[in-house]
C-alpha cells in the first residue's frame, strides 16, 4: 500500500469515525441504550478512530521513509482490523445479530498483528 493511499484512507476513515460517532450519540443513542449496546458502539468508534490516527502516522512515516515497505502491510492489517472489529460491532449493535460477535476477535488479532509488524518495521529505522 502506498503512502498516498494510506493517507487517503486515514482521511476517509477519520471523517467516517466522526460521522458515525456523532450519529450514534445523537441519532441512535436511545435505540442503542434500549438494547444495551451504546457502550459497544462507542468501543467500535474508539478503536476505529485510534487506528485511523495510527494509519495517518504510518502514511506520514512512509512518505519520509519509502524504503520501509512493510509499513504497507501494517496499514493493510489495521484496515482489516477496522473493517472486521469495528464493522462487526456496528452490525451487531444495529441488527442484534449476536453471532457476529464471534468474528470481532479476528479484527482484534489483525490490530495486534499490525502493531507487531510496526515493531519489526521500526527495527529498520
pLDDT tens by residue, 16-51: 999 999 999 999 999 999 999 999 999 999 999 999
Rounded CA separation 84/72 (Å): 18
Residue boundaries of the structural domains of the chain:
3-119
- Please give the grid coordinates belonging to residue 45: 468508534
Phi, psi of 69 (to 5 degrees): -60, -25
State mean pLDDT over 4-18. Answer: 98
pLDDT of residue 124: 86
Strand locations in the chain, DSSP E?
none
- Grouping H, G, I as helix, E, B as strand and the rest as coil, residue 35 is coil
Label residue 123 exposed, middle or buried (CB < 10 Å: 0-12, 13-18, 19+).
exposed
In this prediction, residue 100 carries a pLDDT of 83
Contact 97, 91 (CB under 8 A): yes
pLDDT digits (tens, 9 = 90+) for 53-93: 999 999 999 999 999 999 999 999 999 999 999 999 999 99
Instruction: Give CA angle at 51 (49, 54), nearest 5°.
Output: 115
Amino acid at each position: 500500500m502506498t503512502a498516498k493511499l494510506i493517507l487517503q484512507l486515514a482521511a476517509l476513515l477519520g471523517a467516517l469515525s466522526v460521522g458515525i460517532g456523532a450519529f450514534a450519540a445523537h441519532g441512535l443513542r436511545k435505540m442503542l441504550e434500549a438494547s444495551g449496546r451504546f457502550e459497544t458502539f462507542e468501543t467500535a468508534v474508539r478503536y476505529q478512530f485510534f487506528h485511523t490516527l495510527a494509519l495517518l502516522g504510518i502514511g506520514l512515516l512512509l512518505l519520509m521513509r519509502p524504503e520501509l515497505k512493510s509499513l504497507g502491510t501494517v496499514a493493510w492489517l489495521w484496515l482489516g482490523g477496522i473493517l472486521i472489529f469495528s464493522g462487526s460491532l456496528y452490525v451487531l449493535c444495529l441488527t442484534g445479530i449476536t453471532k457476529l460477535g464471534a468474528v470481532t476477535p479476528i479484527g482484534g488479532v489483525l490490530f495486534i498483528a499490525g502493531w507487531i509488524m510496526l515493531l519489526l518495521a521500526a527495527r529498520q529505522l
